[in-house]
Structure 1
Amino acid sequence: MSSAVETLSNGQFQTVYNVFSFALASMLFTALFLLVSQGRVLPRYRQALVVSATVCGIAAYHYFRIINSFNEGFAPTAIGGDYTLTPFGFNEAYRYVDWLLTVPLLLLETIAVLALPRATRASLLTKLIPASVLMIALGYPGEVAIDTLPKMLWGAASTIPFLYILYVLFVELTKSLGRQPAEVAASVKRLRILLIATWGVYPISYLFPVFGLDGADAFVLRQVGYSVADVLAKCLYGLVIYKIARMKSAADDPVFAEQEFEEAPSSEARATAAA
């Protein structure tokens, strides 16, 4: 999709460019950290870290493409002057391609780190993955729509699978948390709140035109909002997944806990993990 904004001030262009650069660096180095940290958790939890690193890696690639498209899409009129839209335009479809790949993987890493029984894991993923793909696929036509009515209709359609994902995460997944150590269950609950809070930024930015916010300022706010939400939903989320994997590893194996934390887990944590 080409941007409908035709002119950005120098300050607006630099703001968007710097936010894109921040997001790219965050994604890239979070992915590297998660990959090299696999040895700090037990083998059964390493899949979650690999998936989380993959999420950040995919996002880093797409931010690289977004930055290239942004540079090609706007050209300076003079040194220190405004930037005007070029015939290449700015392609925001890269974001939706990224989300189509990374949102299902975010849900996968959430389930993977809990090491649930195979049947429970398969049931949750069968519900979450198709719903997440449908949510993104239905949102894209509304993103590119010019008129308010189709934007609202596609946005409403995209909200249906979103609400279903909330139901699965907050109702069905909760049933599985009773088997987790108390501190792990608490972290997973906070993890779900983080996911929903960051996801909440996307529809607000999506609906800017409906709220009457348009033009260059709205374009900058949308790009900043999407990018900050991406960093929180992928990088911060991945680091919390790493923390949960470490806690579960310590609860599962007292020897690991003693080596990594210089103390064994409490008898309550071991009893909860064994239950």
Structure 2
Amino acid sequence: MNETSSSTFKALQAGLSTEGITLYLFWLGIVGMGAGAIYLWMLQGTLSDKYKKVAIVAGIICAVACFHYYRMASIYAESLANAITFVDGKAVVGELSAFPTAYRYIDWLITVPLMVLEFPLLLALGKKSKGLFWNLGALSLGMLVFAWIAETSPLGGGVWWSFYIVSCIFWVLIVKQLYGQVTSAASHLPESFQGQLGVMKKFIAIGWIIYPIGFLLALSSNESFREIAYNIADVINKVGFGVACVIAAQMLTKFEAEGTIPTAE
């Protein structure tokens, strides 16, 4: 048995403890993201050439996350294995010395800007799309950089709270942009599409709430609660959001075939 297999086997002794459940959710994330990527790429055939990029990007988001979840699961499993001791033949989980924070933020720095790219890709507004992407992309990067600084600062300290609050402000600005500029840019599209666009916006406005809540869970006695929140949120907000994007693209493909998409003013 090699060292990696040995660490994994030992980590599994955590069973259904908080740490054990966290490890299972990392593995679920690998499967969910991988399956999501394949499924979303398969849906390209249901889209016109103009909107195939929506499915391609959605699949890339999940594929990148799948790789990073594989790496994060390995780091967490090793840390968990090192934290386990045996007392009277029973596994006792101590405090974990390391969490895959850096890998998680590297993943987010790649995938989150790609997620907001889906809105200008879907609306296909030419030069206006570039401005919209750069605005949303800059806000998303600002949100993540400040959150990363907070995450690596002393827990519960002044820097931790300050950068956390600034990160949340960037998120609010993203939501404001979605319900302002994006809504305005899509106002010429059929009303039935507006509802699906609303679903996409809700993933950012409501689905992303799990992240600041998860961040605060680090204040609890067990930081693995934060990892549980992040893992659940990632699968929902990457795979679910990708499916919502493709459904919206399928609607526009149908309208395009029918010739019922009015020109933007």
Which TM bucket (shorter chain)? 0.7 to 0.9
Counterpart position of 1:140:
148
Query: Partner of 1:90: helix, strand, or coil?
Result: coil
Match of 2:35 in 1: 29
**Contact kept? 2:33, 2:235, Cα under 8 Å:** yes
Residues 1:58 and 2:64 are matched in the alignment: yes
Deviations 1:58-93 (A, max 9, x none): 111111011000111122323651234576x33322
What is the Cα deviation at residue 9 of structure 1?
5.5
User: Normalized against structure 2, the TM-score is what?
Assistant: 0.86
Give CA deviations for 1:126-159 in whole Å, capped at 9, x if unaligned.
2111111111011111112224211111112223
* CA offsets 1:154-180 (integer angstroms, 9 cap, x no match): 112223322221221111111112221
What does residue 197 of structure 1 align with?
206
- Aligned pair in 2 of structure 1 residues 118, 33: CA closer, same or farther (>3 Å)? same
Rounded to whole Å, the distance in 1 between the matches of 2:257 and 2:136 is: 30
- Percent identity at matched positions? 24
Say yes or no: does 1:100 pair with 2:100. no
Tell me the C-alpha RMSD between the 2 structures.
1.9
TM-score (norm 1): 0.83
- Which runs of 5 or more structure 2 residues have no equivalent in the other structure? 1-12
* 1:154-169 matches, cutoff 5 A: 154-169=163-178
**CA distance in 2: counterparts of 1:158 and 1:16, whole angstroms:** 25
Specify every segment of 5 or more residues in structure 1 that has no aligned partner in the other structure, as ranges.
1-7, 255-269
Q: Deviations over 1:21-57 (max 9, x none)?
A: 1111111111011112211110110111111111101
The residue identity in structure 2 corresponding to 1:126 is: W
> Is 1:188 the equivalent of 2:192?
no
3-state secondary structure, aligned to 1:43: coil
Please say if residues 175 and 204 of structure 2, whose CA atoms lie closer than 8 Å, have aligned partners that are also in contact.
no
Is 2:253 the counterpart of 1:249? yes
Q: Which residue of 1 aligns with 2:44?
A: 38
Q: Secondary structure of the equivalent of 2:225? A: helix
